[in-house]
């Protein structure tokens, strides 16, 4: 069994900002916020390249559970 992640909801302002800035779309895996988020890439492959993913990883909060 995989360990649960931290609740991402305290990081929603950062997540929303990164989605807008990078053109990414993060969606909850389930109704349980400890299940984490999924990065949707299929619908916009031109926006979800290596550069956008790297920027999202380097800009996230150190305690972000996403």
CA distance 8 to 53: 18
Helix (H) or strand (E) holding 22: helix 12-22
Sequence-distant (6+) residues with CB within 8 A of 32 are none
CA distance 37 to 7: 10
pLDDT tens profile 19-28: 888 777 888 9
- Computed over its alpha carbons, how large is the radius of gyration of the chain? 12
CA distance 52 to 18: 9
pTM higher than 0.75, yes or no?
no
Beta-bridge mates of residue 28: 37
Instruction: Give the domain ranges of the chain.
Output: 9-53
Q: What is the mean pLDDT of residues 22-37?
A: 85
């Amino acid at each position: 069994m995989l360990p649960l992640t931290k609740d991402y909801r305290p990081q929603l302002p950062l997540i929303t900002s990164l989605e807008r800035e990078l053109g990414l779309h993060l969606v909850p895996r389930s109704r349980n916020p400890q299940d984490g988020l999924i990065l949707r890439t299929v619908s916009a492959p031109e926006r979800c390249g290596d550069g956008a993913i790297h920027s999202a990883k380097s800009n996230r909060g150190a305690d972000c559970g996403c």
